[in-house]
Amino acid sequence: MTRSDDESDSSSNPEIEGLVDLEEDRRWEDIEPDDELVCVTSLFDEARFPDVHSMLQYCKEKYEFDLVQIGKNFDLGYLEFVKLVNYIRNEVKKGNKIFSIPSKRVFEDDQYLLPILADDALLFSLDEVTSTPANPSQDIIDNETEGRGLLEDSTCERLTELHNELDRVKQQFGAYREAVDKTLECRWSNQDSGPGLSEGNAQQLETADRLVKDESHYFTSYSYNEIHETMLKDTVRTDAYRDFIYDNKNLFKGKIVLDVGCGTGILSMFCAKAGAARVIAVDNSDIIDKAREIVFDNGLGDIITCLRGKIEEVSLPVPRVDIIVSEWMGYCLLYEAMLDSVLWARDRYLKPEGLMVPSHITLFVAPFADPDYITDHVAFWRSVYGFKMDSMLAQIHDDVLIRDVKLEHIPGSAHSFFALDLYSITTDRLSFTAIPFTVELEESIDSLDGFVIWFDTFFLPSREAVQSLESDTRAQKWAKSGGIAFTTGPAGQPTHWRQGVLLIDHGKAGSQQLEKGQTIEGTIDYKKREENQRALDIKLDWKVKGCSYGGTQTWCMR
Ligand code: SAH
């Protein structure tokens, strides 16, 4: 579904926008159970059961096959469970016997997202199998049939829990539908192309394939503990979000918050603790399963709803939100291109007077001179045990290096070359060309070794507060005057973003002594890579004013 389709659908009935997608539901209504009696087919034979638990018990007793235990052993997420079920059904259909599942690998192929049985009630009930005690709804039915006219408090709570659970299942099922749709779409387009695939088509498919792989690699990278540990332990980052949220409880009290890319759910929990009425936490990585548990373990399950999926694809249980909170910043700010998703969410879900957290970012560039680094990591390759190894230098000058640069290696002023106002910036402006910069040398140097890039992040409590923020306001100055902001620059406390270092290739540009007071002028381009939109090319064109020394070079972050 394209964004404009999406918007035109929803604008026709804003009341129900986001709650149900009628068109989608019609397409699927033949396989949705609604209120009909569920009939679950055994995994291994034709036997049918009124509910999933009796079917699983039957498989355990008759075939000594414990699906729930296998799920636990492999720590399966929802979609993995779907694949496992379809894998088993497929093998059984082929006449193969299944006694055990040796490894997750056997059912990891996306082909197993496609249902083997039409109307497979087991797939709709998987959430019951994976996370709730046996037949919880029966408790309520029992209570009611015992003649209790009024629902007791505990029953009300259980009902709310079940409603939440239902929301979750709907979301998971939505993600499953989407995965099936995508798999089918991919198959059909492959089939349509057939053997006479034209070169252009083949290339398009290859590019699409690569993009899908890049995407899945991207989200997989966020499924591991390490990256979340690094982010959470970056106290400059995490404290800033916490301080802004806790210092502005009045802004959060009773509000609906959307956390785009919730990770472990830390920002959602800050918001819930600050009094938000509801927080919707979305993430497309497997980390969402952990977030759900974390939220539950901290007793915040009634406020925070965790949804798996891309923000652009999940349907939120509310039409609009009051606040969007997100930690989307990548190296050199725009690597990873996650801001695109946040802006998409802003345009789709944020109320007109809503709040963006954070709200403003400024990008900086400064000159770099570190003779020791050049000796140790560049000149080193020119003679290794007497051998020339210059070919080892290629990447050094092609890639943006991510390093903690000491302030003493910044020999001049920093220039704020790009300021983002999160309320008004648009995605097309995130690739830019020929943004001018000027920096002045504050000391004499033997050689200009490169440039350094970093960003400052500001959390403003209102749209109006921006008036007091100048385009070159520094985070540290802002924080000193009582605002919440942090810098990822060399003058601040180190963060996990460190700084982007663009080393000048002296082999091409040459090198020259420069004097204190000289200025370097130039332009900067940021461009997304065509084959991987999350990768970034940064190009600098620079010239020392008043002399002929200068150069043009492009560095990549892939
Ligand atoms: N908010 C967490 C995690 C930030 S890392 C924290 O502050 O610690 C960014 C997270 O956003 C990752 O977990 C990644 O999987 C998720 N993400 C990135 N793009 C997304 C998208 N389009 N939809 C959903 N999640 C996304």
Q: The tokens 């210092």 sit on which residue?
A: 247
Rounded CA-CA distance 422/426 in Å is 9
E strand or H helix at 477, and its extent? helix 475-480
Q: Please answer whether residues 223 and 263 qualify as being in contact, where contact means their C-beta atoms are separated by less than 8 angstroms.
A: no
265 lines ligand 1 (CB under 6 A): no
d(CA 129, CA 452): 52
Distance 444 CA to ligand 1 centre (A): 43
pLDDT of residue 179: 56
CA 541 – CA 552 distance, rounded (Å):
4
**pLDDT over threshold 50, residue 149:** no
pLDDT tens-place string over residues 44-91:
998 998 888 899 999 899 888 889 888 888 888 888 888 899 999 988
pLDDT, average across residues 442-453:
98
Place of tokens 């690998």: 105
Nearest CA to ligand 1 atom 17: 261
How far does the centroid of ligand 1 lie from the alpha carbon of residue 307, in Å?
A: 12
Give CA–CA dist 17/315, Å, rounded. 9
User: Model confidence over 256-299: pLDDT tens digits?
Assistant: 999 999 999 999 999 999 999 999 999 999 999 999 999 999 99
φ, ψ of residue 186 in degrees (nearest 5): -65, -45
pLDDT value at residue 501: 98
Is residue 301 within 8 Å of residue 295, measured between CB atoms?
A: yes
Atom of ligand 1 nearest to the CA of 312: 22
Q: Is 311 in the pocket of ligand 1 (CB under 6 A)?
A: yes
263 ligand 1 Cβ < 6 A: yes
Q: How far are the Cα atoms of 81, 111, 323 from residue 31, in angstroms, in the given order?
A: 18, 19, 36
Q: Which one, of 164, 290, 176, lies nearest residue 227 by Cα?
A: 290
What was the pLDDT predicted at 245?
Answer: 98
**Amino acid 189: pLDDT:** 45
Q: How far apart are CA 141 and CA 155, in angstroms?
A: 10
Which of 283, 295, 304 has most ligand 1 atoms within 8 Å of CB, for mutation?
283
Q: Answer yes or no: are the C-beta atoms of 416 and 366 closer than 8 Å.
A: no
Can you tell me which atom of ligand 1 is nearest the CA of 238? 7
Beta bridge pairs of residue 365: 415, 453
pLDDT exceeds 70 at position 21: no
The per-residue pLDDT for 170 is: 64
pLDDT of 213-246, one tens digit each? 567 888 999 999 999 999 999 999 999 999 999 9
Dist CA 468 CA 24 (whole Å): 47
Tally the C-alpha atoms within 13 A of residue 361's C-alpha that lie toward its C-beta.
Answer: 22
Among 451, 438, 556, residue whose Cα is nearest residue 509: 451
CB atoms near residue 162 (< 10 Å)? 15
Q: Which run of H or E residues covers position 168?
A: helix 153-193
Position in ligand 1 atom list of the atom nearest CA 262 = 1
d(CA 417, CA 404): 21
- CB of residue 262 inside a 6 A radius of ligand 1: yes
Class for domain 225-327, per CATH?
alpha beta
Structure tokens at 307: 């949804």
More confident call, 174 vs 301 = 301
Alpha helix locations (H) across 194-275? 199-221, 225-233, 235-247, 249-252, 266-273
Q: What sign for the dihedral angle of Cα 333, 337, 342, 347?
A: positive
Among 3, 211, 219, 346, which is best to mutate for testing ligand 1, by the most ligand atoms less than 8 A from CB?
A: 219
Quote the pLDDT of residue 131.
58
Does residue 485 register a pLDDT over 90?
yes
The answer to whether the CB of 326 falls within 8 A of the CB of 344 is: no
Cα 522 to middle of ligand 1, angstroms = 34
Instruction: Say if residues 531 and 209 touch (Cβ distance below 8 Å).
Output: no
Contact 152, 288 (CB under 8 A): no
Write down how long the chain is.
Answer: 558
Task: Give the whole-angstrom CA distance, residue 353 versus residue 289.
Answer: 32
Find the mean pLDDT for residues 144-167. 56
Q: What average pLDDT does the chain have?
A: 83
Distance 238 CA to ligand 1 centre (A): 14
Q: What is the pLDDT of residue 20?
A: 34
% of the chain at pLDDT higher than 90: 58
pLDDT at 328 over 60: yes
Local structure of 224: helix, strand or coil: coil
Residue nearest to atom 26 of ligand 1 (CA): 261
- pLDDT-wise least confident of 93-102, 415-424, 539-548: 93-102
Residues with catalytic function: 327, 336
Position with higher pLDDT, 274 vs 112: 274
What is the CA(283)–ligand 1 centre distance, in A? Answer: 6
What percent of the chain is modeled with pLDDT above 70?
Answer: 78
The reply to whether ligand 1 has any atom less than 6 angstroms from the CB of 283 is: yes
**What is the pLDDT, as a whole number, of residue 29?**
38
The two tokens of residue 464 are 């109006």
CA torsion angle 158 159 160 165 (round to 10): 90
Give residue limits of the domains in the chain.
5-167, 189-221, 225-327, 360-557
For residue 56 and ligand 1, the question of a CB distance below 6 A is answered with no
The per-residue pLDDT for 103 is 81
Spell out a b/e string for 120-141, using b for 16 or more CB atoms within 10 Å of the CB, else e.
bbbbbbbbbbbeeeeeeeeeee
Q: Does domain 360-557 have CATH number 2.70.160.11?
A: yes
For atom 15 of ligand 1, the residue with the nearest CA is 285
Please, what is the end-to-end C-alpha distance for the chain in angstroms?
A: 29
The answer to whether 546 and 521 have CB atoms below 8 angstroms apart is no
Q: DSSP states of 390-431 as a string?
A: GGGGHHHHHBPEEE---GGG--B--EEEEEEETTT--GGGGS
Q: Predicted confidence band at 176 (pLDDT cuts at 50, 70, 90)?
A: low
Whether ligand 1 lies within 6 angstroms of the CB of 222 is answered as: yes
Would 225-327 and 360-557 be classified into the same CATH topology?
no
Predicted TM-score (pTM) of this structure = 0.67
Enclosing H/E stretch for 28:
helix 22-28
> Would you place residue 459 in the very low, low, confident or very high pLDDT band (cuts 50, 70, 90)?
very high
Confidence of residue 178 (pLDDT cuts 50, 70, 90): low
Place 211 in a pLDDT band, splitting at 50, 70 and 90. low
Question: Is residue 282 within 6 Å of ligand 1 at its C-beta?
Answer: yes
Q: Which of 230, 260, 313 to mutate to test the pocket of ligand 1 (most atoms within 8 A of CB)?
A: 260
Give the model's confidence band at 34: pLDDT under 50 very low, under 70 low, under 90 confident, else very high: very low
Is the CB of 423 within 6 Å of ligand 1? no
Q: Is the CB of 310 under 6 A from ligand 1?
A: yes
